[in-house]
Amino acid sequence: MVGLRFMRLGMLALAVGMLFGVIGGFQFLFPEFLRELLFTKTRPLHVSLVVSWIFLIAIGGIYFYLPRHCHYKLWSERLANTHFWVFVVTGAAILACYLSGKFGGREYFEFPPILSIPIFLTWILFGINYFMTVRQEKEPWPVYYWMWGTGILFFFITYTEAHLWLIPYFRETMVREIIVQWKSYGALTGSWNMLVYGTALYLATRISGNAEYARSKMAFGLYFLGLFNLMFGWAHHAYPVPSATWIRTFAYFVSMTELFIFGKIIWDWRASLEDWQKNRYCNAYRFLFAADIWVFVNLGLALIISVPALNLITHGTHITVAHAMGSTIGINSMILLASIFFVIREELPTELHAKYSSQVQSGFWIVNISLAVFFTALVLAGIGKGLSTAASFQEMMFSIRPFLIVFTLSGVTLMLGIWIVLWHAYRLIGKVQPNAA
């Protein structure tokens, strides 16, 4: 059951993380709102919980799919259970530190660095368990095995790199520390993309019943591009710090190509499905379809802001936030929700999950319509901020306030839509029989 426990914990993390995100949005507009929960607390609470959602669902899926669907005995159930409980205890300690105002890290990891030690430990346990399990495969690995393994390995490497600021050589020089931070965080995003995109390709293979998707030249082309992007695609985040122009330009090209190929694989997969396959996995299919649409929306925005002259205007504005939200919610979260509903469809009787299908569908449309409004408001706010000629920061913020109000209100409906989906998913996952994972 360890895989399902990871999934249920991930759903709780997203539900609470969305609440702190909405609180942060209101605090941005109304500084007196819940003043005791200062923005310095709500932002790290929101970010840490949402990032945890991504990792928890991806890890839970891997722990579930390997023994249940790929028919490999997990190398060590004990290691997997230890992984889960260390994650729970460490997560609780991190949240307690945030709520009590005890910080000490850097962006994404603003908790005291001592708490990174058990996180390192969990990834060692996960990596050992994963590679010892998949070594049972006698045939060449499908691409999602390579993606999952690469994501695990490079998370450990990039998470280590993210802590180089603890060494005085990096910490005492601002430019050096910023470059290392942004490089490591960009690569860290690439590592979780490997886990999530690998999950998407696994689902595409299972839903279609065609293993060729995971062994095609295009799938492995996506893998190698993703690997290259993981190692070098961070460069386009470093415009404000000294770096060669060709590195940033090349990094953008690789990043955009990866998104395009991933989008095309899912698009072609959708076109190949029969109606009965779409209907059988209606919720999982629906969320994968939404992820594909958001791939192309985010790709379009990324291509626009990749132009150096435009990047100088947009970098650090709400457009950057829109790009991040389009990736985190529109792409990653849609794929992970598809993974959850695939498990529900495979493991529960049709009449049980079909009973709640209409409510899940309603939540799906609330989420995606709200996200579209949310995304658009951020882009318009970013354009207003980037082109503003106001004499002061206060005047500039006042001029874009209508967009920020729309952004905050759409964030509320987005949260409610996600809660509807998660509520039904959480209850249904709880009904999966113990021998499922």
Cα 409 to Cα 218: distance, rounded to the nearest angstrom: 41
Question: pLDDT by residue (tens digit) across 134-157?
Answer: 888 878 888 889 999 999 998 988
Give the pLDDT of residue 336. Answer: 94
pLDDT at residue 3 greater than cutoff 60:
yes
Q: What is the pLDDT of residues 169-223, one digit of tens each?
A: 888 887 777 777 777 777 788 888 889 989 988 888 888 777 777 787 877 877 8
Structure token pair of residue 231: 């190692």
pLDDT of the residue at 432: 81
Range of lowest pLDDT (71-85, 166-180, 398-412)? 166-180
Residues whose CB is less than 8 angstroms from the CB of residue 334 and which lie 6 or more positions away in sequence, other chains included:
287, 288, 290, 291, 294
The pLDDT of residue 436 is 46
Apex 222 CA angle, 215 and 368, nearest 5: 105
CA–CA gap between residue 161 and residue 359 (Å, rounded): 43
pLDDT-based confidence at 81, cuts 50/70/90? very high
- What's residue 227's pLDDT? 80
Could you give the CA distance from residue 7 to residue 344 in angstroms, rounded to a whole number?
12
Going by C-alpha positions, the residue among 293, 285, 265 that lies closest to residue 207 is: 285
9: pLDDT strictly greater than 90: yes
| 109: β partners | 106
Segment 220-235 shows an average pLDDT of 74
Q: Residue 106: what are its φ and ψ, rounded to 5°? A: -125, 180
DSSP letter for each residue of 274-315:
-HHHHHHTHHHHHHHHHHHHHHHHHHHHHHHHTSHHHHHHHT
Give the mean pLDDT of 241-252.
64
Over the stretch 254-278, which tens digit does the pLDDT of each residue have? 656 655 665 665 656 555 555 444 5
Q: Is 155 helix (H, G, I), strand (E, B) or coil?
A: helix
What SS3 state is found at 240? coil
CB distance 231 to 254 below 8 Å: no
Long-range pairs of 265-268 with CB within 8 A, sequence gap ≥ 24: 265/201, 265/204, 265/213, 265/218, 265/219, 265/222, 266/200, 266/204, 266/291, 266/292, 266/295, 267/292
Q: Which span out of 127-131, 172-176, 387-391 was modeled with the highest average pLDDT?
A: 127-131
User: Is a pLDDT exceeding 50 seen at residue 407?
Assistant: yes
Instruction: Give me the pLDDT at residue 163, please.
Output: 86
Q: Tell whether the torsion through CA atoms of 375, 379, 382 and 388 is positive or negative.
A: negative
Q: Is the pLDDT assigned to residue 327 strictly greater than 70?
A: yes
Contact status, residue 298 vs residue 259, Cβ threshold 8 Å? yes
In the chain, pLDDT over 70 holds for what percent of residues? 79
Lookup result for tokens 């790199």 = 161
Q: What tokens appear for 383 in the block?
A: 């354009």
Q: DSSP letter string over 162-188?
A: TTGGGSHHHHT-HHHHHHHHHHHHHHH
Taking CA atoms, 64 is separated from 77, 80, 154, 341, in Å, by 12, 11, 22, 13
Q: Both tokens of residue 311?
A: 């990047």
pLDDT in tens, 266-309: 656 555 555 444 555 678 878 888 888 887 787 777 767 666 66
pLDDT tens-place string over residues 86-128: 999 999 999 999 888 888 877 778 888 899 899 989 999 999 9
Residue 137 backbone phi and psi in degrees, to 5: -70, 125
- Rounded Cα–Cα distance for residues 152 and 193 (Å): 11
pLDDT one-digit tens code per residue, 348-367: 777 666 667 788 889 999 99
For 386-416, give the secondary structure using H, E and C: HHCCCCCHHHHHHHCHHHHHHHHHHHHHHHH
Whether the CB-CB separation of 153 and 110 falls below 8 Å is answered with no
d(CA 189, CA 14): 17
